[in-house]
């Protein structure tokens, strides 16, 4: 972000509204692992670029599990990701 704090904060605000969060959740609920992977992978890239480690870690984990299309219950990952998202959102109130 080249030291531009306002730009960095605006990018975090945009991340919080990213539709990939809901796509990830809905795709997992629907059993659509391909769409869930795409959403998780997109989130991983953006969150990684912003260096938001607390939310990045569960997103990275679920991305790799989805990459292999592992048949499992992903709900704990989704729950943790959304909890971390809400924690991040609380910082901007």
Q: Is it the case that residue 53 has pLDDT exceeding 90? A: yes
Topology of the domain comprising 5-90: 1.20.120
Sorted by sequence, the CB contacts under 8 Å of residue 16 that are 6+ apart come out as: 85, 88, 89, 92
pLDDT at 3: 79
Nearest CA among 16, 17, 56 for reference residue 40: 56
Q: How many residues does the chain have?
A: 93
Residue 40 reports pLDDT greater than 80: yes
72-79 average pLDDT score:
97
Distance of CA 34 to the CA centre of its chain: 15
The model's confidence at residue 1, banded by pLDDT at 50, 70 and 90, is low
Domain ranges of the chain: 5-90
Q: Report the chain's mean pLDDT, rounded to a whole number.
A: 95
Contact call for residues 78 and 38 (beta carbons, < 8 A): no
Q: Average of pLDDT values for 54-79? A: 96
Per-residue pLDDT averaged across 12-32, rounded?
97
């Amino acid at each position: 972000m080249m030291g531009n704090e306002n730009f960095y904060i605006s990018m975090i605000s945009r991340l919080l509204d990213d539709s990939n969060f809901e796509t990830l959740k809905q795709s997992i609920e629907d059993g659509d692992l391909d769409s869930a992977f795409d959403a998780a992978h997109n989130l991983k890239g953006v969150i990684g670029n912003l260096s938001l480690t607390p939310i990045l870690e569960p997103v990275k984990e679920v991305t790799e599990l989805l990459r292999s299309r592992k048949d499992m219950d992903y709900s704990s990952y989704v729950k943790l990701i959304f909890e971390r998202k809400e924690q991040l959102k609380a910082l901007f109130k």
